[in-house]
Amino acid sequence: MGKGIEGDQAFRREDLLGRNSEMTFGGALSFLRRNYTRDLADVDIAVTGIPFDMATSNRPGTRLGPRAIRAASVGLAELEAYPFGFDPFAYLKVADYGDCFLDYGYPQRCVELIESHADEIIKTKTMMLSMGGDHFVTYPLLKAHAKKYGPLSLIHFDAHCDTWEDDGSRLDHGSMFLRAIREEIIDPKTSVQIGIRTHNTDTYGFTVLGAPWVHREGIPAVIDIIREIVGKRKAYLTFDIDCLDPAFAPGTGTPVSGGLSTAQALEAIRSLGEFEIVGMDVVEVAPQYDVSEITAIAAATLLHDFICLQAVKAGAVLQPFGYI
């Protein structure tokens, strides 16, 4: 633990490493109580919110997702990470970069503004983790990452394929990955979609692992397929929280029955350490439909556990307690 600071770590802690005493029920909110800063000179990972939901097709409200995920993350900041058995912030300098500023009166500018926001982060050596927002925000995030890394493989957890047709200019959280394919931002032949349980007549080259297949074959088989299809290519990870069954994630705009459990999703994320993932987002948390924060807690934990994978790459040693 750090020295001399009790409470409000988000703006009082001076060092990006370590943790300090905090009330889980009070204090300034930031993701995992990390420092708020836009100075990325010494930051390994920047977590940022994208509070946009003007492309949603059903229940609105995911603009409030980043705020809810930050609030749900407080318990994860209190103890050493489970099941990893270490403090990831002893190895990684993680900052909360705040939210992308979006003027609701100019929705047509959202792609430009989100892409520019991402550019400012990833032009440095800092990895960007994003909290949405509806799933359309992944499109400008992919545009920014592809400028730096070239066409990317996509590891996509979702109930929906998000490759339905549009005219190439719609703000639509159900069609942006087809646009990304056509703009050669992502390579569908080296990409995998997991948990899908809505119909589209064309896969557009994606390897699709439907939710029934995942339930039947298990997460180790999912990882085997990702290893075969994605391999060592640079990949972007996007997790639509409606990949989870509504029993585990009621707080979302377009829930679909038959999805993954939170346990399955966390096992999957914890198994992705071998892959060259250059960025990640968790999207579609709509807290007004949530129950006891269970959706926001799931989203915060997915991001937390991905950060722990990066801590392992930075030298953290697994010290699990009990079976994992």
pLDDT of residue 323: 60
Decide if pLDDT at 88 tops 90: yes
Q: What are the tens digits of pLDDT across the range 249-292?
A: 999 999 999 999 999 999 999 999 999 999 999 999 999 999 99
Tokens found for residue 36:
């708020």
Percent of the chain with pLDDT over 70: 98
Contact present, 31 and 76 (Cβ < 8 Å) = no
Bridge partner residues of 199 (DSSP): none
Task: Judge contact between 245 and 157, C-beta under 8 A.
Answer: no
The per-residue pLDDT for 168 is 84
pLDDT of residue 272: 98
Q: What is the DSSP string of 126-167?
A: -EEEEEESSGGGHHHHHHHHHHHH-SBEEEEE-SS-------
* 206-231 residue pLDDT tens: 999 999 999 999 999 999 999 999 99
- Residue 22: pLDDT band (50, 70, 90) is confident
**CA distances to 35, 54, 112, 115 from 102, in Å:** 22, 11, 10, 12
What is the number of helices (H) and of strands (E) in the chain?
9, 8
- Does residue 321 carry a pLDDT above 80? no
Instruction: Give mean pLDDT, residues 85-100.
Output: 97
- Model confidence pLDDT, tens digit, residues 107-132: 999 999 999 999 999 999 999 999 99
pLDDT at residue 2 is higher than 50: no
pLDDT tens digits, residue range 54-75? 989 999 999 999 999 999 999 9
Kindly indicate the confidence band of residue 3, based on its pLDDT and cuts at 50, 70 and 90: low
Q: For 9-313, give the CATH class.
A: alpha beta
Spell out the domain ranges in the chain.
Answer: 9-313
What is the phi/psi pair of residue 35, to 5°? Answer: -60, 135
Mean pLDDT of 295-321: 95
- Who wins on pLDDT, 196 or 323? 196
- Crossing angle of helices 262-270 and 219-229, in 10° steps, is 40
pTM, two decimals, is: 0.95
Per-residue pLDDT averaged across 13-36, rounded? 90
Indicate whether 198 pLDDT > 50. Answer: yes
Sheet of 127-132: strands edge to edge?
A: 94-99, 45-50, 127-132, 276-283, 234-240, 153-157, 192-196, 207-210
Model confidence at 205: pLDDT above 70: yes
pLDDT of residue 1: 42
Reading phi first (left if > 0) and then psi (alpha if -120 to 50, else beta), residue 218 is in left
pLDDT of residue 196: 98
pLDDT band at 169; cut points 50, 70, 90? confident
How would residue 35 be classed by pLDDT, with cut points 50, 70 and 90? very high
